[in-house]
Amino acid sequence: MSTNSSGVRLRSVTKRFRSGTIGIDNASLTIEGGEFVTFLGPSGSGKTTTLNTIAGFVRPTSGSIEIGGRDVTKVPPSKRNLGIVFQNYALFPHMSVRDNVAFGLHGRGLSKHEVSKRINDVLTMVRLGGLEDRRPKQLSGGQQQRVALARALVYQPPVLLMDEPLSALDKALRDQMQVEIGRIHREVGTTFLFVTHDQNEALGLSDRIVLFNEGRILQVGTPSELYEQPRSLFAAQFLGESNVFRGRVTSAQTLEFAGVPLRFNGGAPATKSAAIVVRPENLLVRQADEARPDENQVSALITNISYFGSFRSIMVSYLDGSSGQLRESASSEARFSRGDNVSVCWDPGRAVLVDDGEAAA
Ligand SMILES: Nc1ncnc2c1ncn2[C@@H]1O[C@H](COP(=O)(O)OP(=O)(O)OP(=O)(O)O)[C@@H](O)[C@H]1O
Ligand SMILES: [Mg+2]
């Protein structure tokens, strides 16, 4: 299936609702044509509001929106030429799969032959070939979601907007549809904007993730940039698991955590109060007296150990009362048990320093 793709640009977009609530606060963002971009963030953080300003359902209080280089800020939704898939995909219950999909092509001046070719192509793409004559209620949830996708893709929109399209599906179907959506994106090359509050969906699908909190865009980057270089405590805690060592910066390379100096790489932060964040897989657990001069180490108490087949998850409690977790390959020998006092160690190059801002809930 051939399609063209368009970039999307938001310039300082703010939406203040009549109630006074700020839905989005001064959001600026450039999405390249053909990218798969995910809006990720907790409930109420402004993901849907931002998507709706791009769709045209919400008019920004200030700022502008461009699609394919054209300023569409005042253009109605129907003239923006976007494909849209919502959470409740609202298929027409009395129409067949074929007619549901054909609906998107009405009034586009296509020949009968072209209409039927496009429907066949798109149904093959979403793997619904053979089910054309069924009604929605004769389909599974995942199949219905595919019809909604086909209906949005059939007129080859340059941008496809999806707001939590998988949230009504059970976990197994969601995982399967996630793979399908990734494949469809590669096949059509359309720009995909996908909203979710599921971090695994965001990590698995996206070229880039836009992280929202409280109406603001906090960070934009590839999944690995967000995971490996979170720029705030919120980002570190929202995406993936973290061990957080809060303390005072005492020199250009040292933070004091519960009386223990910890080294960090990179420049000194702007604030005195900061936190070192370490992912579970970058921590090692050692006997309390197994010191290594090149590592940071803090004392910890093992509060629990869970076995997950390929790895063990070790829960610990640190000196300041905070809890953390680390992960050990289950193929290594289990040397510790619950209640042990141990040293938790890491290479300073495998941690990041962030401002001690507000933590994720
Ligand atoms: N029509 C509206 N009128 C008033 N306030 C609104 C309206 N729509 C959204 N809001 C508010 O704007 C903020 C952002 O809401 P939005 O729907 O964009 O969040 P979201 O990130 O999509 O959350 P969720 O994950 O729950 O869907 C919230 O505080 C919400 O209550
Ligand atoms: Mg929403």
Q: For residue 291, what pLDDT is reported?
A: 74
Report the separation in Å between the CA atom of 23 and the middle of ligand 1, taken as the mean of its atom positions. 6
- Closest CA to ligand 1's atom 3: 17
The residue whose CA has the least distance to atom 9 of ligand 1 is 23
Asked if the model's pLDDT at residue 176 lies above 90, the reply is no
User: Counting ligands in written order, which one lies closest to the CA of residue 210?
Assistant: 1
Supply the pLDDT for residue 359: 46
CB–CB of 335/314 below 8 Å?
no
- Residue 2 pLDDT > 60, yes or no? no
* Residue pair 11/63 in contact by the 8 Å Cβ criterion: yes
**pTM over 0.85, yes/no:** yes
Residue 22 has pLDDT above 70, yes or no: yes
Residues with CB under 5 A from ligand 2 (ion): 48
Q: How far is the CA of 43 from the centre of ligand 1 (A)?
A: 8
Nearest 5°: CA angle at 223, between 219 and 226? Answer: 40
Whole-number Å distance, alpha carbon 124 to ligand 2 midpoint, is: 30
| pLDDT(213) > 80 | yes
* Per-residue burial over 223-260, b = 16 or more CB atoms within 10 Å of its CB, e = otherwise: beebbebbbbbbbbbbbbebbbbbbebeeebebebeeb
Residue 357 pLDDT > 70: no
Secondary structure percentages of the chain, helix, strand, coil, to 5: 25, 35, 40
- pLDDT tens digits, 117-162: 999 999 998 889 899 999 999 998 888 988 999 999 998 899 999 9
- The whole-angstrom distance between residue 247's C-alpha and the CA centroid of its chain comes to 29
Please, what is the average pLDDT of the chain?
91
> Given this model, what pLDDT does residue 351 score?
92
- What's the pLDDT at 70? 95
Helix (H, G, I), strand (E, B) or coil at 131: coil
- The class that CATH gives domain 234-355 is mainly beta
Q: What is the pLDDT of residues 254-276, one digit of tens each?
A: 999 999 999 998 776 667 889 99
- Whether the CB-CB separation of 226 and 235 falls below 8 Å is answered with yes
Q: Which ligand is nearest to the CA of 198?
A: 1
Nearest CA to ligand 1 atom 19: 44
H or E segment at 122? helix 112-125
Q: How far is the CA of 176 from the centre of ligand 1 (A)?
A: 28
Q: Where are the domains of the chain?
A: 8-228, 234-355
Pocket, ligand 1, Cβ cutoff 6 A: 17, 19, 21, 23, 41, 43-49, 197
Residue 71: count of CB within 10 angstroms of its CB? 12
Confidence of residue 361 (pLDDT cuts 50, 70, 90): very low
| Element housing 284 (H / E) | strand 284-287
Q: Which residue has the tokens 């289950």?
A: 330
**Residue whose CA is at the smallest distance from ligand 1 atom 11:** 23
Which atom of ligand 1 lies nearest, measured to the CA of 41?
A: 21
Is 70 exceeded by the pLDDT of residue 347?
A: yes
Of the residues 18, 47, 209, which should be mutated to test ligand 1's pocket, given the most ligand atoms within 8 Å of the CB? 47
Question: Tell me: the pLDDT tens digits for 273-327?
Answer: 899 999 999 999 999 888 788 999 999 999 999 999 999 999 999 999 999 999 9
At 170, the pLDDT band (50, 70, 90 cuts) reads: confident
* Residues forming beta bridges with residue 339, ordered by sequence position: none
Confidence of residue 106 (pLDDT cuts 50, 70, 90): confident
- Nearest CA residue ID for atom 2, ligand 1: 17
pLDDT tier, 360 (very low <50, low <70, confident <90, very high otherwise): very low
CA-closest residue to ligand 1 atom 4: 17
| Positive or negative: CA dihedral 303, 273, 236, 298 | negative
Sheet holding 62-67, edge to edge: 22-31, 8-16, 62-67, 70-71
Q: Identify the pLDDT of residue 224.
A: 95
Mean pLDDT of the 171-181 span = 86
Atom of ligand 1 nearest to the CA of 39: 21
The dihedral of CA 235, 213, 275, 318: what is its sign? Answer: negative
Q: Which ligand is closest to the CA of 23, given by its number?
A: 1
Ligand nearest to the CA of 47: 1
In angstroms, rounded to a whole number, what is the distance separating the alpha carbons of residues 234 and 213?
8
pLDDT at residue number 269: 67
Q: In the CATH hierarchy, which fold is given to the domain comprising 8-228?
A: Rossmann fold (3.40.50)
- Amino acid identity, residue 180? E
**How high is the pLDDT of residue 275?**
93
Residues 6+ apart with CB under 8 A from 217: 27, 28, 29, 210, 211
Q: What is the dihedral of CA 351, 272, 245, 262, to 10 degrees?
A: 60
DSSP assignment string, 167-232? TTS-HHHHHHHHHHHHHHHHHH--EEEEEES-HHHHHHH-SEEEEEETTEEEEEE-HHHHHHS-SB
Q: Copy the structure tokens of residue 60.
A: 């920004």
Residue 81 burial (C-beta neighbours within 10 Å; 0-12, 13-18, 19+):
middle
Ramachandran area for residue 26 (φ above 0: left; ψ -120 to 50: alpha; else beta): left
In the reported structure, the alpha carbon of residue 295 is separated from the centroid of ligand 1 by a whole-number distance in angstroms of: 45
Question: What is the tens place of the pLDDT at every residue in 224-262?
Answer: 999 999 999 999 999 999 999 999 999 888 999 999 999
Task: Give 239 Cα–ligand 2 centroid separation in angstroms.
Answer: 18
Atom 13 of ligand 1 has which residue's CA nearest to it? 23
pLDDT > 70? residue 6: yes
Residue 98 Cα, ligand 1 centroid: separation in angstroms?
A: 34
Predicted local distance difference test score (pLDDT) of residue 331:
87
Distance CA 200, CA 204 (A): 6
